[in-house]
Structure 1
Amino acid sequence: MPAGRLRMWVLLCVALCAAVLAAGCGGGGGSPGLTSGSSGGASATTGTLAVDISTPGGVAGSLQVSGPNNFARALTQSATLAGLAPGNYTIAAAGIAVGATQYMPLPASQTVTVAAGALATATVSYAARALSLGLTEVASGLDRPVFLAAPDGDSRQFIVLRGGRILVMQGGALLPQPFLDIGASVFTAGEGGLLSVAFDPGYAGNGYFYVYYTDQQQNIVIERFHAQPGASVADPASGLVILRVAHQQYANHYGGLLAFGADGLLYIGTGDGGGEGDPLGNGRNADSLLAKMLRIDVRHASAGAPYAIPPSNPFVGQAHKRAEIWASGLRNPWRFALDGARIYIADVGQDQREEVDIADTAQGGLDFGWNLMEGTLCLKDGCDRTGLTLPALEYGHGDAAGGACAIVGGFVYRGAALAELAGRYFYSDYCAGFLKSLYFAGGAVIEQRSWPLPAIGAVVSFGRDGQGELYLVAASGSIYKIGRSFAPKS
């Protein structure tokens, strides 16, 4: 080849190589916004996908890109994916939450074709949607339901009827045979009855569960029963009475809930024995198990020793003070909730105030004030509040539409379906029938919210299933699951 032609050929090759490098083809590098895919940079045999994510206020998005050759990439912000094998790529976008606002993607899913040597684009825009809650009726026509519970992770729901039966709901249908029927042992007049059930933390292995009921002599009874793991019918002959608390004079203020804490101990909320104004004087009497939050250890329960006293209980070894007591000064705790090391107690007031008491379970010996106080209201002129633990939240009987009369405590939400509401404590009122939540942090209630719902009549209780989702139990005999409902944000 003549020297002049050879020189021209070399210059042409150099120019072509420079152009290829400048275009980012085949070489390394790439711009800061370029994310290489499974095949390195783009070339004549690979393609590029630019994903634009538009979110309000810099909130991180939640996208998953998948495609040929098992390609998978999670994205939270706009990015360019290079070196992709040609083919169809699916972009799935999930909702994101900030506080009580949910941001929904549009579109939620799309498919984009990436061609060799070409640039494909996709856009996902997030728009704010105000979260609202709705109800789905899951059971109806029940005879005085008062509670719903389930072992952790169990797909069934166990419905407690005040008459003494526990029903099983599986796959949305009630099983024909009760899980337990102790109706012959249960006193149901006044506020009595079978009032709650708690499954042992080791239920999947040991089959133990505990019930709270009033017996035919009107005493409060805590009794343990047994069921074979996975069975939908328990053994009614397996009962072991754990604790019996005398409560004969009045047929109200029985309390009614028992629950296991994160410490593995059993907590029991008892009422003051009934009557108006605590005539029996149980509220602040440390020698009485009424009007208290009790805490006992049932992990090694037997007929000879049905429970043990936790050494950390506040009155251990003190004369004329029952060692089972964890806290005092409660009128009628109609449901409480244990959430980690914190307890939320909904204490029913007398004539004017309803309250929520919140404390750490390490704070044994607290006095919530009844019958010296109703909420923060002194029942006697010049009452001394020294040493009392005042409510974290209270409301008056005239503060709710239709009039409030008796608080109904719920749970702290820890489910997955409404993840943006994690840590919110839900409660209602028997007469007002509202649904409200609060958020407690730093020793104070820092958020309160009302959730408009269709009228379902008097609310008796909340329930929680094995996945942490919440339910409302209505006096009408229906049970409703609380779920997500969206309304456009104004």
Structure 2
Amino acid sequence: MGLVSCNATPNNREAATSPVNATSVSSETEVCQFVENGVGSPGQVKVRAEEVVTGLEVPWGIAFLPNDKMLVTERPGRVRLVDKGELKPPVANLSITASGEGGLLGIAAHPDFASNRFFYLYYTTDKNGSPINRVERWQLSTDGLSASSDRIIIDDIPAALFHNGGRLRFGPDGMLYIGTGDAREPQISQDVDSLAGKILRLTPDGEVPADNPFPNNPVFITGIRNTQGFDWYNPSTLFVTDHGPSGELGRRGEDKVSVLQAGDNMGWPSVKNCEAEAGFVPPSLVWREAAPPGGAAIYTGDSIPEWKGNLIIGTLRSRHLHRVVFDSDNPRQVQTHEVYFQGSSPDGFGRIRDVIMGTDNELYITTSNCDGRGNCPQGQDKIIRITQ
């Protein structure tokens, strides 16, 4: 596979290729960029796509392992091993509640996976007759052919037909970060005693870190509707994407990207579009039309030098890969943003779920065309490498 995306436009400045390299978030006046029509201008950097593996059913997340291997979650409940581009039989089958947007979602490998073989799963299951979301630690066998449950890391995350969140990432501090959804109860995202509508932060063993912003509480960031993507600008600052409303409260669209730190409130459901209200962190980028964003990763590789330090976001409904360049002097300010691989085959990939940097410093994405909202192709969903 060798799809190429390169559409230069005169309003994309050469300065947009410079990485964000400041050490802290500026306190200068922040200006939110509101995309009134469409999703953005065509991308100007020539990049191409390489198919890594196909035959997957809604691959929701990837965890990279040593020796050119990866574990991939399929939303119906399977954990698959990919070994040097070859898709292997499931290493685990989970009992999940697979209605709506629930099921087997995020995955993350322990920072010391090479020695302990631990990985973490976020999934929806039934507990006492009701659906809940759970994060559980698993261990891959020595031969890599099977895996077993080790312990529950956190339980009873509110679940619903929609808005289950599900992204797992280990931060630069070695802590496990967990993105959750509001479980269709908007106001619950403002309740610091609820696990819904948050980014949570725990130790790899499931303990609450002593330096969390709310004492003895896993909650790290509040006011989220349904995040599926976040990454670190620096050790104390995250870029976070969030889904906007799809009819509730009489509102639609409003998908956004925000720059957040410990204890910050992203503002759902109070903040609309680019509003700035006391107590809430205003977004940096908002789309009027629904995107909405899937996974997100800061590009740290060398294959596409123009993208270095930029935030790369997958989108679902708008079906494209989005590049966001932040101002190096004021990292809350979007300098420019642009669109790659828009649409479905042959020019694009359709719905994009996860976006993540691999251990080889290449960018990987997963498609989500077999989730009931896309056009599931004969070869089902894929993992794709984006390079130059």
TM (norm. structure 2) is 0.77
- Residue 146 of structure 1: which of 57, 60, 71 is its match? 60
- Cα 1:349–1:135, aligned 2, differ >3 Å: closer, same or farther? same
Per the alignment, residue 215 of structure 1 pairs with 125
CA contact (8 A) 2:178 2:200 kept: yes
Per the alignment, residue 371 of structure 1 pairs with 269
- Residue 288 of structure 1: which of 194, 207, 213 is its match? 194
Per the alignment, residue 457 of structure 1 pairs with 350
Per the alignment, residue 391 of structure 1 pairs with 283
Q: Structure 2 CA distance, aligned partners of 1:431 and 1:186?
A: 25
Deviation at 1:340, TM superposition (A): 4.0
Q: Structure 2 CA distance, aligned partners of 1:160 and 1:374?
A: 33
Give the letter aligned to residue 278 of structure 2.
T
Per the alignment, residue 163 of structure 1 pairs with 76
CA contact (8 A) 2:315 2:322 kept: no
Of 329-338 and 135-144, more deviation after overlay is shown by 135-144
- Cα 1:199–1:340, aligned 2, differ >3 Å: closer, same or farther? farther
Deviation at 1:330, TM superposition (A): 0.2
CA contact (8 A) 2:296 2:355 kept: yes
Q: Structure 2 CA distance, aligned partners of 1:329 and 1:268?
A: 14
Per the alignment, residue 239 of structure 2 pairs with 344
Aligned residues: CA RMSD:
2.3
Q: Which structure has the larger Rg over C-alpha atoms?
A: 1
Q: Structure 1 CA distance, aligned partners of 2:146 and 2:361?
A: 23
Q: Verify: 1:331 aligned to 2:228, yes or no.
A: no
Q: Structure 1 CA distance, aligned partners of 2:17 and 2:293?
A: 24
- Cα 1:413–1:446, aligned 2, differ >3 Å: closer, same or farther? same
- Cα 1:355–1:283, aligned 2, differ >3 Å: closer, same or farther? same
Give per-residue Cα distances to partners, 1:414-464, cap 9 Å, x unaligned.
123223422111013211112221123333222323334512222233243
- Cα 1:388–1:225, aligned 2, differ >3 Å: closer, same or farther? same
- Cα 1:131–1:247, aligned 2, differ >3 Å: closer, same or farther? closer
Q: Verify: 1:425 aligned to 2:311, yes or no.
A: yes
Give the letter aligned to residue 191 of structure 2.
N
SS at match of 2:56: coil
Of 449-458 and 343-352, more deviation after overlay is shown by 449-458
Deviation at 1:282, TM superposition (A): 0.5
Q: Structure 2 CA distance, aligned partners of 1:256 and 1:376?
A: 25
Q: Structure 2 CA distance, aligned partners of 1:315 and 1:131?
A: 43
- Cα 1:154–1:354, aligned 2, differ >3 Å: closer, same or farther? farther
Deviation at 1:227, TM superposition (A): 2.0
Give the letter aligned to residue 142 of structure 1.
L
- What stretches of structure 1 move > 4 A for 4+ residues in a row? 97-101
Deviation at 1:228, TM superposition (A): 4.2
CA contact (8 A) 1:286 1:328 kept: yes
Per the alignment, residue 386 of structure 2 pairs with 482
What is the 5 A alignment of 1:29-428?
A: 100=17, 131-151=45-65, 154-175=67-88, 177-182=89-94, 185-216=95-126, 217-228=130-141, 231-236=143-148, 238-248=149-159, 250-274=160-184, 278=186, 281-298=187-204, 301=205, 307-316=206-215, 323-341=217-235, 342-350=237-245, 351-359=252-260, 363-376=261-274, 385-397=277-289, 404-428=290-314
Q: Structure 1 CA distance, aligned partners of 2:340 and 2:107?
A: 27
Give the letter aligned to residue 373 of structure 1.
V
SS at match of 2:241: strand
Deviation at 1:99, TM superposition (A): 6.5
Give the letter aligned to residue 224 of structure 1.
R
Q: Which stretches in structure 1 are left out of the alignment for 5+ residues?
A: 1-96, 102-129, 302-306, 318-322, 378-383, 398-403, 485-490
Deviation at 1:358, TM superposition (A): 1.5
Q: Structure 1 CA distance, aligned partners of 2:140 and 2:288?
A: 43
CA contact (8 A) 2:17 2:325 kept: no
CA contact (8 A) 1:221 1:245 kept: yes
- Cα 1:246–1:471, aligned 2, differ >3 Å: closer, same or farther? closer
Q: Structure 2 CA distance, aligned partners of 1:212 and 1:295?
A: 14
CA contact (8 A) 1:154 1:467 kept: no
Q: Structure 1 CA distance, aligned partners of 2:132 and 2:62?
A: 23
Give the letter aligned to residue 353 of structure 1.
E
SS at match of 1:466: coil
Deviation at 1:309, TM superposition (A): 1.6
CA contact (8 A) 1:100 1:131 kept: no
Tell me how many residue pairs correspond in the alignment. 322
Q: Which stretches in structure 2 are left out of the alignment for 5+ residues?
A: 1-13, 19-43, 246-251, 370-375
Per the alignment, residue 448 of structure 1 pairs with 337
